[in-house]
Structure 1
């Protein structure tokens, strides 16, 4: 399982952070699970100032994240899922979204939690969606990583 060896992050000091969750609309069941996981993490760490916004697909995540980074958010969580099909479309969307989200984070200095599932099939996505029978909760993980990094940056006085 890909989640083996993942650190257990205990985020202290996330209260007061302003967070945006931007999520794709494709694959409703998976996306609903990812968003629920993100909201569980926000609640768990005491973040009440957050907004969930939806974009058409994973390709649109970077441009939305860039716009949100310019609007005073302390952290952004990007959630999406791309499932491999029979064409190279999968590779192009995955690479563009990944590189775009990385660029937004580095250029803005605002952490972007990477919750983009890039799966070979729908079952892999369901296994990572944070649903009752899922093996992993990538929405929660991406949010926790973004919060942890935002707290660290805030502690640096940046």
Structure 2
């Protein structure tokens, strides 16, 4: 099962971070859960006033995440869901979005929280969305990962006087 081995780090005060959350619009119930999880993590890590923007779908995530990274946010969280259908569209969108988000992080040096659900069924997506009865909260997990990575990068910069 996905979620096994999840880190058990406790939230810390990261109130000084500027964070953007970019969320797709498809599959409203799943996206509402992912966004709620992201907000829960931001609150737990004491990040206030995140910039939240919606995009049409998961394919559009990399471009807008890149714009946020270039706008000097300390971390950007990408939230979306793609559910397999009967055509290869699923594979194309998942690959393009995943590769694009990875490229943004590597090219900009800004952590990108990977909250893109790639599921075979809607039930799988709902189970990962952080809704009541869900077994996982991928919105929370992606946000916490981006925040912790931003914290690590700041520490590396402070240790080496590079940032």
The answer to whether residue 80 in structure 2 is matched with residue 74 in structure 1 is no
Which aligned segments of 4 or more residues in structure 1 are displaced greater than 2 angstroms? 9-13
Which digits, 9 at most, give the CA deviation of each residue in 1:103-151, with x for residues without a partner? Answer: 0000000000000000000000000000011000000000000000000
> Is 1:150 aligned with 2:146?
no
User: Match of 2:51?
Assistant: 51
Corresponding residue number in structure 1 for 2:122: 122
- Partners in 2 of 1:64 and 1:10 — Cα distance? 30
Residue in structure 2 matched with residue 96 of structure 1 by the alignment = 96
Does the CA contact (< 8 Å) of 2:15 and 2:46 recur in 1?
yes
Give the gaps of 5 or more residues in structure 2: 158-162
Q: Distance in 2 between matches of 1:10 and 1:61?
A: 28
> 1:85 aligns to what?
85
1:55-114 deviation digits (Å, cap 9, x = unpaired): 000000000011111101000000000000000000000000000000000000000000
Question: 5+ residue gaps in structure 1?
Answer: none
How many residue pairs were aligned?
158
**Larger mean Cα displacement after TM superposition, 11-20 or 25-34:** 11-20
TM (normalized to structure 2)?
Answer: 0.95
2:11 touches 2:44 (CA, 8 Å); kept in 1?
A: no
Tell me how large the CA RMSD over aligned residues is: 0.8
TM-score, normalised to structure 1's length?
Answer: 0.98
